Amino acid sequence: MEDFTGCLWVISRQIIDHTEDAKLTFIGRCEVSDGWYQETGQMVLPDGQSLSSTRRYRWGATLEGVDVHFDDGRFFHRIDLAHASAQARHFCDPDDYEVSYEFTQWPVWTSLWKVKGPRKDYEMDSSYRKLTL
């Protein structure tokens, strides 16, 4: 987990919302510090409107990688760092979240989320690049 901390990451993200047939983009930054993953940026909606967006998760090192928890402490998923490619899944009734991580181009890495549920059907493709200060 030390490779993630002590720096800023630039995030570029595309979200394809299949229920609305819409494409959204996000440009921002994240930092992993003191056990917290925190990101901030701007979400651009299909009509061009821009909204501020933030999210925060608790990250904890394990022998297998990183355990990701929600703000309130509930377990979300594990990032398996033993492999250059990793998958995880989280079922949050009634929605199903699947993620694929790619670390083969480190220090550039990606995550691809596929989310399905009664009111959700989207893919969120994020690329992280270490910001050189």
pLDDT tens digit sequence for 37-72: 999 999 999 999 999 999 999 999 999 899 999 999
Q: How far is CA 51 from the centre of its chain?
A: 18
- Segment 63-114, tens digit of pLDDT: 989 999 999 999 999 999 999 999 999 999 999 999 999 999 999 999 999 9
Which two tokens mark 13? 């993200």
Q: What pLDDT band is residue 2 in, cutting at 50, 70 and 90?
A: confident
What is the spatial order of strands in the sheet that 36-44 belongs to? 75-80, 65-69, 50-61, 36-44, 22-33, 8-17, 121-130, 109-116, 95-102, 85-92
d(CA 31, CA 80): 19
Give the pLDDT confidence score for residue 3 in this predicted structure: 87
